[in-house]
Structure 1
């Protein structure tokens, strides 16, 4: 199946009452495990290259890897630039073949954020690529505090930028190791009433599974970004692999052991937020 855009997978999710996982990729092993999980569940998947990953691996390499996985997959696969810092970075991702970009102007004043995001969205749409923006600010565990998204600002942002998806701050926090976030469902509903743009929850790892399912089934939240939760699975599986075979030095053999645990954990998330039909 060929590469999909963000709109290709989020619009059906919005209209049919489910969400798609945006999984944070750090290398070949986890990317392949994510796609294997999506194929096993017959559900789409969004492969995300975040700033940390891009600092370690060139953008062109990530694009080639994502495209290769998409072309051989039996389900839609989105190649997504997560937290793009500038128009130039988003342009470079599009030139490499990413099918979706997120411009993160959430630290900017509202009108500046709108202007920058609008320029990225126009560029992306001209290339047949989707664009995600962020309104409000999703903070970080043990770091910057969040600034909540108001429904008024969200509606203004959506109308003025033309984004295909909108990340919102409603109690979610990046990099949480425990599922302890308290989501303001009333705020989500107010935003959803103000705009039909599919909503995105960053920091999905910190949200209890029951709440992720409730948001996926009953609101226009159509995408959960999941990173920390699956990185923790990777670390635990790798430590087990090292402990079980202390004489092993081949990285391929060691890393091969992490793929099944990652795929299994991803399948649980996909079933949790995916369409009800996937549970039967």
Structure 2
């Protein structure tokens, strides 16, 4: 079916207290595994291209890949540009067919973040594209670079949303990008406070390091989009290692990748069920 926007899939999540998963992909094989798993459990899904994925494919090919896979299924699929700080990349991605973009101005002073986010929103309206922005800062950048954590101040949330017109807001509540273990110390009191004041759906980044118990709780609040990247990457690479050990005679790279995707599907289904988005479409 045609690609959906972030606004379209988060509307029902808001009304019914669940979260739609956003999964980062890097190759065609993990992309298709994510979508097939979501189709099998009837969940909307947000496919996110960021960092190394965008450097590898570029906006035109990345958007085409997502659109090709989405056209084969009957569930809502969002093509989302994740963690983009370059205006040029954002505008090229909108033109290429992405239906949702995240402008990441979290490393900038708040006023500059607001000004840039507002520009992205104004352009996005012409394309019918949804916009996510970030207020506060997660403790590590998407590509693993060091970043000082700045927890989101609830008193700034309404002001930021009103001045920018964003459709969704990523906030910092204690997560860290790239965590291999589910040991993040989440400020659940801040989660509750932000959920009470936020005028738009909230987004949780770095959720691979969040415990299942905390994720289940957060998914029932105003956090309607929850991002999962590191866990998918880890499962994929570990599965490739296992395949090479059990099949030392294997010489076909495509077969190697295909044999390593079932565990991605298992992981995707686990996260979907945890977030409550199963059987929502």
The answer, yes or no, to whether TM exceeds 0.5 is yes
Q: How big is each residue's C-alpha offset from its partner over 1:40-67, in whole Å with a ceiling of 9 and x where there is no partner? A: 1100010000111111222211110001
1:200-219 residue pairs with structure 2 within 5 A? 200-217=203-220, 219=221
Task: Give yes or no for contact 1:176–1:203 (8 Å, CA) kept in 2.
Answer: yes
Q: How big is each residue's C-alpha offset from its partner over 1:239-269, in whole Å with a ceiling of 9 and x where there is no partner? A: 1111111121111110111111100110000
**Residue 142 of structure 1, CA deviation:** 7.9
2:153 aligned residue: 150
| Alignment partners' CA distance in 1, 2:41 and 2:255 | 26
5+ long unaligned stretches in structure 1: none
Task: Give yes or no for contact 2:41–2:278 (8 Å, CA) kept in 1.
Answer: no
Q: Per the alignment, in what secondary structure is the counterpart of residue 234 of structure 1?
A: helix
| Alignment partners' CA distance in 2, 1:41 and 1:198 | 23
**Residue 275 of structure 1, CA deviation:** 4.1
Task: Give yes or no for contact 1:196–1:220 (8 Å, CA) kept in 2.
Answer: no
Task: Give yes or no for contact 2:168–2:200 (8 Å, CA) kept in 1.
Answer: yes
5+ long unaligned stretches in structure 2: none
Q: 1:60 to 1:277 in 2, by over 3 A?
A: closer
TM-score using structure 2 length: 0.95
Q: Per the alignment, in what secondary structure is the counterpart of residue 90 of structure 2?
A: helix
Q: Per the alignment, in what secondary structure is the counterpart of residue 58 of structure 1?
A: helix
**Residue 235 of structure 1, CA deviation:** 1.0
> Which range moves more in the overlay, 152-161 or 98-107?
152-161
1:48 aligned residue: 48
Moved runs in structure 1, 4+ residues, more than 6 A?
none
Q: Per the alignment, in what secondary structure is the counterpart of residue 272 of structure 1?
A: helix
Q: 1:142 to 1:125 in 2, by over 3 A?
A: closer
2:106 aligned residue: 106
**Residue 145 of structure 1, CA deviation:** 2.5
Task: Give yes or no for contact 1:135–1:149 (8 Å, CA) kept in 2.
Answer: yes
Count of residues paired in the alignment: 277
Task: Give yes or no for contact 2:63–2:79 (8 Å, CA) kept in 1.
Answer: yes
1:3-152 residue pairs with structure 2 within 5 A? 3-140=3-140, 143-152=146-155
**Residue 69 of structure 1, CA deviation:** 1.0
Task: Give yes or no for contact 2:272–2:278 (8 Å, CA) kept in 1.
Answer: no
Task: Give yes or no for contact 2:183–2:209 (8 Å, CA) kept in 1.
Answer: yes
| Alignment partners' CA distance in 2, 1:193 and 1:163 | 18
TM-score using structure 1 length: 0.96
Task: Give yes or no for contact 1:16–1:275 (8 Å, CA) kept in 2.
Answer: no
